Amino acid sequence: MLELRTPQGPTGRLLREMLAGKKLLAGHVKAIVNYGYGDASHLPTLNANAGRANKYQELVKLDDKGVRTIPFSSHASDLHGVILGRKLHHTQGKDIVFGVGHNRDYFTQLVPKHNEFRVWVFQGKHLATYEKKLDYPGKYGKRGRSKEVWNWHNGFAFHFVQPEQVQDKLKTLAINAVAALDLDFGAVDILLGADRRYYVLEVNTAPGTQGAARQGITSLVNCIERWAKGGFPERN
């Protein structure tokens, strides 16, 4: 019924297994699900626009739609304080360098942070929220890693947050970010600043999963199943 287009990797394999387990990948293809890919098709398609813009272009779109992002610019001189150099295409924050002159494509301003979250969304609905926590302190700041980068290599992992503990404004910001990029679903990385304001870092169209806490991708698969069995309705 569905064709899944996804990059190679553990999350892609997991998603394929989950959809196959619901018998959604068998038979004649009637619709497309893009996980990280954007591809035009005459068939009904989820996330047809995924991957069509680079990270800088996505920030511009978010800003144009009034979604609060971290301060960014193609010119470092437009920003203040600590400046981070970024590449147009990146994953897991591996591209981040401090300052200018490192052959980077655009720049963001360092926002002192209190926490980071990843919020899963499908067609205007909040699916799951995860909070980053330092699970492996032995990795933190080692091998020259900046302590400002909260990723797996620096010892951080995602922890599921019970839905009733997630602030409405965090959910709304994530929902608005996915809508601003004309997507059906995504996992939005959001920073909670020391000023207690939320800032969108980026929207992931092929988010990875870590550990046994799979509420996000499980809820996404359930939404895809309802979409397929409901006759592939267009997004409002």
In a domain, 28, yes or no: yes
In a domain, 10, yes or no: yes
**Based on the domain organization, do 89 and 175 belong to the same domain?**
yes
**Based on the domain organization, do 92 and 11 belong to the same domain?**
no
Give the per-residue pLDDT at 154. 72
Strands 185-193 and 45-46: unpaired
Burial of 195 per CB tally in 10 Å (0-12, 13-18, 19+): exposed
**Based on the domain organization, do 62 and 123 belong to the same domain?**
yes
In a domain, 22, yes or no: yes
**Based on the domain organization, do 86 and 189 belong to the same domain?**
yes
pLDDT tens by residue, the chain, 236 residues: 999 999 888 888 999 999 999 999 999 999 999 998 877 789 999 999 998 899 999 999 999 999 999 999 999 999 999 898 888 887 766 678 887 767 888 999 999 999 999 999 999 999 999 999 987 788 877 766 666 777 767 777 889 999 999 999 999 999 999 999 999 999 999 999 999 999 999 999 998 876 667 899 999 999 999 999 999 999 87
In a domain, 234, yes or no: no
**Based on the domain organization, do 174 and 115 belong to the same domain?**
yes
Give the per-residue pLDDT at 161. 95
- Domain count of the chain? 2
**Based on the domain organization, do 33 and 136 belong to the same domain?**
no
In a domain, 235, yes or no: no
Task: Count Cβ atoms below 10 Å from residue 212 Cβ, excluding itself.
Answer: 6
CATH of the domain at 174: 3.30.470.20
**Based on the domain organization, do 105 and 144 belong to the same domain?**
yes
**Based on the domain organization, do 41 and 75 belong to the same domain?**
no
Give the per-residue pLDDT at 170. 98
Give the per-residue pLDDT at 145. 65
Residue in the structure block whose two tokens are 């295409």 = 89
Give the per-residue pLDDT at 139. 80
In a domain, 74, yes or no: yes
**Based on the domain organization, do 8 and 103 belong to the same domain?**
no
Give the per-residue pLDDT at 197. 97
Quote the domain boundaries for residue 76: 55-204
In a domain, 141, yes or no: yes
Q: How far is CA 49 from CA 25, 60, 189, in A?
A: 21, 16, 18
**Based on the domain organization, do 153 and 169 belong to the same domain?**
yes
In a domain, 211, yes or no: no
**Based on the domain organization, do 73 and 157 belong to the same domain?**
yes
Which candidate, 164, 165, 157, 150, places its Cα nearest to that of 209? 157
Q: 3-state SS of the chain?
A: CEEEECCCCHHHHHHHHHHHHCCCCCCCCCEEEECCCCCCCCCCEECCCCCCCCHHHHHHHHHHCCCCECCEECCHHHCCCCEEEECCCCCCCCCCEECCCCCCCEEEECCCEEEEEEEEEECCEEEEEEEEEECCHHHCCHHHCCCCCCCHHHCEEEEEECHHHCCHHHHHHHHHHHHHCCCCEEEEEEEEECCCCEEEEEEECCCCCCCCCCHHHHHHHHHHHHHHHCCCCCCC
**Based on the domain organization, do 44 and 126 belong to the same domain?**
no
